[in-house]
Structure 1
Amino acid sequence: MRILNVIDHILDKDSGNVVLSQKEIAKDNLEISNYVEKVIDKFEKSEYVELELSRIPMLEQFWNGRDDFQKLTEKFALDYFDSIKVNEKIPGGDLLFFNVELENLSQMIGIAKLDYTQRYIHNVEYDEDVLVNNIVQNNSILPSPSQGVKNMLLIDGDKIQLREQQYTGASGKWLMSRDFLNVAAVPIKVSNNVKQIKKSIQKISEKYDDGDDFTITSKTQQAIHDSIETDGVIDNDYIADVVFDQKEEAKAEFKDQLAKKAIEPVVTVPNVDYFEKKYERQKIKLDNGIEINVPISLLKNRDAIEFETNPDGSTSVVIKNIGSLKSQF
């Protein structure tokens, strides 16, 4: 990755001013280059939604006019500040803009709102010529790249990847896509779709007495993971076949419930790697306090783990063929 342009503008909500940088940060600044790389990497390993660039004229203009990067960032920062200043729950922060060249020589533009956090720092003071080391609160600490950025977007050709947080205060709700970018309808996050899929399956399984909660949950997670891994989507027809097997009435009811919740038969997954990793392990909590974190691929492997029902109705978990044990403290 090569930095082409990078500039930072300050949104000072305390003073009610925008401090516009009059010059870009030097391209050969290794510290800022590392910061931008880590911010992008953290973003791409998180959940985001994907939109067509043509749906957002403001960003389409930004992309097409990126040769005039400085002026575009100034206008964006001023307009953004006007949008957030009325909502008391939105913290001040910096707007970091960057234009980078990727390894395939294509360009990508990023806009990240770096919210301020409060931290205590030391401060060297003098009291009548006597040096005093004091501790003070700094209200303008920027997030480290490892924390991730709550409001950020990447423009990559004709696509936009968007991550955002909703703020709710006395002045109402504020969402960047709706209240600033004027997007009429943002795609539902994949994780929200998955929650609704799980709820529907659990409800229908209870109705048809289709097994215990653990078995149903495991089947559902396995099916979701396999669908993403194989096709890069969540195929709800496939999930219904795996979970409900030959119960056609249950399958039909499941599909009907999803339709009522406006969940498509095939859910697009824009960041496949993130969700493959998210669902590749099943956390099992036992009522005696033991927790087991099992790779989803081993749940059906009886040579690795087996669940046995005892005569008294309790369940034993048998973990097999262990070559070594390690205790992590």
Structure 2
Amino acid sequence: MNSLEIKNAVINVMNREINSAVFSQKELDGRDQIVQEYIEKLVKKFLNSECLTLDLAASEPAQYLVGQSEDFIEVAEKLTQFYFEAIKTWEEIPEGDLLFFRAEDGYGKTYTGMVKLDFSAKYIHLIDYDDDNLVTNKISQNKTILPNPGQGVSCGIIVKD
């Protein structure tokens, strides 16, 4: 697979702390280098993994993902809501976001996907100011770091053509 042209992409946040999903009302900019690189690496890693290959008829979510004439953002929202409702009480399932995309490679093949991006916790530095306006450097933990695209994803659907 050569490089991908991102036609549509949206990321929806699933947040157990507020017991809700936060839906994007705008698509990601598929021409943005970071978005392009992130999705392309995820797709390549996913397709080169030992993923399960099924006939489209065997997956209702995959059929819905590619078979709807609705707006791409609406399809992503409905699938996110369905997925979030199904997993929100299962603490064993790692928290994460859902990334939806439609892309085309240089050969005219279309890739439509929904992948779960499991969060990881990383330590970061923060620059803060106290009441006297003095700089206070701190260490904090960010628990909502997206996975490195080279890691791959453990859960997702990619429909090719």
Counterpart in the other structure of 1:103: 106
1:28-74: CA deviation from partner (whole Å, max 9, x where unpaired): 11110000011111112211111110122332132122662111000
TM-score, normalising length: structure 2: 0.92
Alpha-carbon distance between aligned partners in 1 of 2:100 and 2:36, rounded to the nearest angstrom: 12
Q: Bigger relative contact order, structure 1 or 2, given CA contacts below 8 A and separation 6+?
A: 2
Alpha-carbon distance between aligned partners in 1 of 2:8 and 2:152, rounded to the nearest angstrom: 21
Asked if the contact 2:100–2:113 (Cα under 8 Å) also holds between the matched residues in 1, the reply is yes
Q: Which amino acid aligns with 2:156?
A: M
Q: Which amino acid aligns with 1:23?
A: K
Counterpart in the other structure of 2:96: 93
Pairing 1:224-235 to 2, within 5 Å after superposition: none
1:209-242: CA deviation from partner (whole Å, max 9, x where unpaired): xxxxxxxxxxxxxxxxxxxxxxxxxxxxxxxxxx
Find 2:148's aligned residue among 144, 149, 165. Answer: 144
Alpha-carbon distance between aligned partners in 2 of 1:5 and 1:67, rounded to the nearest angstrom: 13
Asked if the contact 1:116–1:141 (Cα under 8 Å) also holds between the matched residues in 2, the reply is yes
Alpha-carbon distance between aligned partners in 2 of 1:75 and 1:92, rounded to the nearest angstrom: 18
Counterpart in the other structure of 2:76: 73
Asked if the contact 2:62–2:157 (Cα under 8 Å) also holds between the matched residues in 1, the reply is no
Of structures 1 and 2, the larger Rg is shown by 1
Change (3 A) 1:66 1:99: farther
User: Is residue 130 from structure 1 mapped to residue 134 from structure 2 by the alignment?
Assistant: yes
Pairing 1:1-329 to 2, within 5 Å after superposition: 1-65=4-68, 68-128=71-131, 129-157=133-161
Alpha-carbon distance between aligned partners in 1 of 2:91 and 2:65, rounded to the nearest angstrom: 28
TM-score, normalising length: structure 1: 0.46
Asked if the contact 1:114–1:142 (Cα under 8 Å) also holds between the matched residues in 2, the reply is yes
Question: Greater share of helix residues, 1 or 2?
Answer: 1
| SS of equivalent residue, structure 2 residue 157 | strand
Greater alpha carbon shift after TM alignment, 130-139 vs 61-70? 61-70
Q: Which sections of structure 2, spanning at least 5 residues, go unmatched?
A: none
Q: Which sections of structure 1, spanning at least 5 residues, go unmatched?
A: 158-329
* Percent sequence identity over aligned pairs: 34
Asked if the contact 1:13–1:91 (Cα under 8 Å) also holds between the matched residues in 2, the reply is no
Greater alpha carbon shift after TM alignment, 57-66 vs 21-30? 57-66
| SS of equivalent residue, structure 2 residue 31 | coil
Residue 16 of structure 1 and its aligned partner are, at CA, apart by: 1.1
Alpha-carbon distance between aligned partners in 2 of 1:151 and 1:14, rounded to the nearest angstrom: 22
Question: Greater share of strand residues, 1 or 2?
Answer: 2
CA RMSD of aligned residues (A): 1.3
Asked if the contact 1:14–1:92 (Cα under 8 Å) also holds between the matched residues in 2, the reply is no
